[in-house]
Structure 1
Amino acid sequence: MDYNDQYGHKDKMYYLHRRTEILPFVPHGIKSALDIGCATGGFGALLKETFGCEVWGVEPDTVSATEAQNNIDVVINDLFTDNMPQLAAKKFDAIFFNDVLEHLQNPDKALLACKKLLNPNGVIIASIPNIRWYPVVLSLLRYKDFKYEDAGVMDRTHLRFFTKKSMIRLFEESGYSVTKIQGINKSNYKYYKLLNFILFNTQQDMNYPQFVVVAKQPA
């Protein structure tokens, strides 16, 4: 099954998110960005509007890639690999993986491939779903279930699952230094608050469906 067959069932909204919650993590003054898994280019367009930067994107979904050409500077309709002739002469100030790494068989290889694409002070910014999100843990503990869904943390197209701790390990073992990791899209489940209180406020990570990782290559 190729990519377009595997993801063809996705609702159109899956490809339209602008991801405004990522903007606070973007360094000011970036001149160039690469959005891996750029979908229809909504986030890339937001980057261009906010920072005035050049934005390239890689998107394997053909329909989305075609639409993205109207929103960003260059779109490569392909899967991201470590050998892309279109990127051979390019360097970027920021490379984005907005809920993408969990869809890859080898996310570590994708991060390694980015090293030659980053400017000396460039950063990788990745939004990654958190498998320790309270509703997922509740489903395991109370309902004894691991149920896939069409989107979200339990998206059926996810190949990898991460906790905050294993996100950091993924980047560090790939040769990066994590400069920031922060939960986004906070939820407020009343039973989570009780659980966190009982466990001496040690479970704050369970309140976030995603974390954003900002990482760079060590000096």
Structure 2
Amino acid sequence: MNKSRPDDTYYQGERRELLPYIPMLGDRLLDVGCGEGGFAAMLKRERGYQEIWGMEYDEKSAAVASSLLNRVIPGDASNALGALPDDYFNLICLNDVIEHLIWPEAFLAGLKQKLTQDARIFCSIPNLRQYRLLWNLLQSQDFEYTDSGLLDRTHLRFFTRKTMLTLLDRAGFEPTSVIGWGTTKSWKFKILNALTLWRGNDMMHSHFFILAKAKQMP
């Protein structure tokens, strides 16, 4: 069903599957697209971050998150970078956020000055080359947007591993870790991988988890 706003569950949840990939880098963390604050609150408990900020487009969710986090900035994150202090955050998390931005390169470039010298950004990115999506596209010659997932109807951009790394490079970041999440033994994946002459291992992953640091000026 097409809705102007996803239901509340869209903004809830801890995203616990991300926890093993989140480093402890200091005291201050920014969660862009923080939803109701469950993920950031989990990092405060289990990774030791003491000061956690959030940015959230959905006003209702931002109000909930404000009871859990130190500060929440509501509204369009792309227009709110000026509300963030420079040279301040040890880690900035963007969990399934970049695909919702109109101009992701400009936004990422703007985040650089908000990071401390040894800080990182963490990105969770849906993979457009995931084998189920490609298989369905080949079979039906069509696709339908959904309320959540790889073809979430609120996605404005789509990425593969390669295109996401290119975006980060253009925005002034270099990856320190790239991890594919999700595996499969599906015969559909095996067929698609064979058709690409076994260059399609990335197709088994629904997401990529990327840690990156700002490039140093020469």
TM-score by length of 2: 0.90
Deviations 1:17-59 (A, max 9, x none): 2112222222224211100000000100011011221110000
Which residue matches 1:160?
157
| 1:63 aligned onto 2:46 | no
Unaligned runs of 5+ residues in structure 2 are none
Q: For the residues of structure 1 that align with 2:184 and 2:61, how far apart are their CA atoms? A: 29
Q: For the residues of structure 2 that align with 1:102 and 1:84, how far apart are their CA atoms? A: 18
Which residue matches 1:23?
19
Q: Counterpart of 1:155 in 2: which secondary structure?
A: coil
* Aligned mate of 1:193, from 190, 193, 204: 190
* Compared CA separation, residues 89 and 204, structure 1 to 2 (3 A): closer
126-135 vs 188-197, which moves further: 188-197
Q: For the residues of structure 1 that align with 2:110 and 2:117, how far apart are their CA atoms? A: 15
* Compared CA separation, residues 207 and 56, structure 1 to 2 (3 A): same
Offset of 1:199 from its aligned partner?
Answer: 4.5
* Compared CA separation, residues 52 and 113, structure 1 to 2 (3 A): same
Which residue matches 2:207?
210
* Compared CA separation, residues 68 and 14, structure 1 to 2 (3 A): same
Q: For the residues of structure 2 that align with 1:89 and 1:127, how far apart are their CA atoms? A: 23
Contact 1:30 1:51 in 2 (8 A): no
Deviations 1:160-200 (A, max 9, x none): 00011001000011111111111113355332134335655
* Aligned mate of 2:142, from 141, 145, 156: 145
* Aligned mate of 1:86, from 83, 87, 92: 83
| 1:32 aligned onto 2:25 | no
Q: Counterpart of 2:90 in 1: which secondary structure?
A: strand
Cα RMSD over matched residues? 1.9
Contact 2:180 2:209 in 1 (8 A): yes
Q: For the residues of structure 2 that align with 1:123 and 1:129, how far apart are their CA atoms? A: 20
Identity across the alignment (%): 37
13-22 vs 192-201, which moves further: 192-201
Q: Which runs of 4+ in 1 moved over 4 A?
A: 197-200
Unaligned runs of 5+ residues in structure 1 are 1-5
Q: For the residues of structure 2 that align with 1:90 and 1:59, how far apart are their CA atoms? A: 21
Count, aligned residues:
214
Q: For 1:33-48, list aligned pairs within 5 A.
A: 33-48=29-44
Which residue matches 1:123?
120
TM-score by length of 1: 0.90
Q: For the residues of structure 2 that align with 1:189 and 1:68, how far apart are their CA atoms? A: 39
Q: Counterpart of 2:31 in 1: which secondary structure?
A: strand
Which residue matches 1:181?
178
Contact 1:171 1:177 in 2 (8 A): yes
